[in-house]
């Protein structure tokens, strides 16, 4: 975890004065419920104890000056002309949030910002969503705006969709804004109703970063989304009231799956079964039944591998290595796929064995080194440290 005092010192060295505030927004891991969000379904994420920190202080003019400490890079733009940048693409996440705030009718003043993060970039742990939420919350405090957590998440998602140009769902920004310590959130992506579910204290969430770059995730994401939409069109002949695969029960799908061509049938089978797994897994965790939760995680990975086809051999090797460790209840790919991270539910007494065994097995199978993080569920966005 990043020490806010270090961030405060970095800000002072760059701007010659202490920041007015420091904001922390966490990354996330999705425990189960993959590729269900854009099908109006259920997801089950937890905010993690790795975060993006934004140190901020208001300016007297209309400029926003941003220092990205991790890149050793800077950007500056006017609040009067917030445009997409081709020279500093990382700054478009900040620019997009600022523009979204103004489009929503909020009056902003200029600011100096310094940004740093310990969320691994490109690993599927939502570093971009954490940045968007942290920047939005910083401007909210600096300008004394009244924005609820759900509204902040939607605003940040809109910035990524319309300004950055990434058609992400709501899950990442939502959990970064509204996460709760020691809980996961069962989120309905259709109406944004959510319920916190306690994570039993006698388990650990372990994230394994494969260090496999997700080069195919973007194009595959669009293809899978199109295939799900095709499934809805075909199933609507028999189920005229459905608007998304979320509306199809496992029983209805079993009766009608022959009406779908491959691979559309397989894609729909994953989404329908995954939605069902999410609901059942949340109930299991609420009952303290970690064995059932782990089994559902394993089933989820098999579905992602076989029906949705978004895993790759290296990720399968990482999951298999985890599942073979005594004390690992379950493991699965988390995120869009084709690389990134896995999430495993592990008994605390097995953590050391898990780390050594998985690292060795993965290296032997792939030639790659995995980075392993033992995480805890954390709170969503908020102030960090003692502001000045």
Catalytic center residues: 172
- Strands of the sheet containing 21-30, edge to edge, are 73-78, 63-68, 111-117, 45-58, 21-30, 382-383
Q: Which two tokens stand for residue 20?
A: 């007015």
Q: Which two tokens stand for residue 69?
A: 């400490």
Q: CA 38 from chain center: how many Å?
A: 14
What's the chain look like in SS3?
Answer: CCCHHHHHHHHHHHHCCCCCEEEEEEEEEECCCCCCHHHCCEECEEEEEEEEEEEEEECCCCEEEEEECCCCEEEEEECCCCCCCCCCHHHHHHHHHHHHHHHCCCCCCCEEEEEEECCCCCCCCCHHHHHHHHHHHHHHHHCCCCCCHHHHHHHHHHHHHHHHCCCCCCHHHHHHHHCCCCEEEEEECCCCCEEEEECCCCCEEEEEECCCCCCCHHHHHHHHHHHHHHHHHHHCCCCCCCCCHHHCCHHHHHHHHHHCCCCHHHHHHHHHHHHHHHHHHHHHHHCCCHHHHHHHHHHHHHHHHHCCCCCCHHHHHHHHHHHCCCCEEEEEEECCCCCCEEEEEECHHHHHHHHHHHHHHHHHHHCCCCEEEEECECCCCEECCCCC
């Amino acid at each position: 975890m990043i020490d806010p005092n270090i961030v405060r010192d970095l800000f002072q060295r760059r701007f010659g004065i202490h920041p007015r505030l420091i904001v922390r927004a966490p990354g996330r891991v999705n425990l189960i419920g993959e590729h269900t969000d854009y099908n109006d379904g259920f997801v089950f994420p937890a905010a993690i104890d790795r975060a993006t920190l934004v140190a901020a202080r208001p300016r007297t003019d209309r400029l926003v000056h941003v220092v990205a400490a991790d890149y050793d890079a800077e950007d500056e733009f006017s609040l009067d002309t917030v445009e997409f940048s081709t020279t500093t693409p990382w700054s478009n996440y900040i620019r997009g949030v600022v523009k979204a705030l103004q489009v929503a009718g909020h009056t902003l003043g200029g600011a100096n910002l310094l940004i740093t993060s310990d969320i691994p970039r490109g690993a599927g742990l939502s570093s971009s969503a954490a940045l968007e939420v942290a920047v939005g919350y910083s401007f909210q405090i600096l300008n004394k705006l009244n924005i609820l957590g759900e509204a902040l998440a939607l605003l940040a998602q809109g910035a990524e969709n319309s300004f950055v140009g990434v058609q992400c769902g709501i899950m990442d920004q939502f959990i970064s804004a509204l996460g709760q310590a020691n809980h996961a959130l069962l989120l309905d992506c259709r109406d944004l109703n959510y319920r916190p579910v306690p994570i039993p204290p006698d388990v650990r969430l372990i994230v394994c970063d494969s260090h496999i770059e997700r080069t195919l995730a973007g194009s595959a994401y669009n293809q899978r989304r199109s295939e799900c939409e095709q499934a809805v069109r075909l199933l609507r002949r028999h189920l005229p009231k459905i608007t998304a695969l979320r509306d199809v029960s496992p029983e209805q799908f079993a009766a009608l799956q022959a009406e779908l061509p491959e691979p559309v049938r397989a894609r729909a089978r994953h989404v329908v079964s995954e939605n069902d797994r999410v609901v059942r897994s949340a109930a299991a965790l609420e009952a303290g039944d970690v064995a059932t939760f782990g089994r559902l995680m394993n089933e989820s990975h098999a579905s992602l591998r076989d029906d949705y086809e978004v895993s790759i051999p290296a990720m399968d090797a990482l999951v298999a290595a985890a599942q073979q460790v005594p004390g690992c209840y379950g493991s699965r790919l988390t995120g869009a796929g084709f690389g990134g991270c896995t999430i495993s539910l592990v008994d605390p007494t097995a953590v050391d064995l898990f780390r050594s065994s998985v690292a060795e097995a993965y290296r032997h199978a792939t030639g790659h080194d995995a980075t392993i993080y033992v995480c805890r569920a954390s709170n969503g966005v908020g102030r960090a440290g003692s502001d000045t």
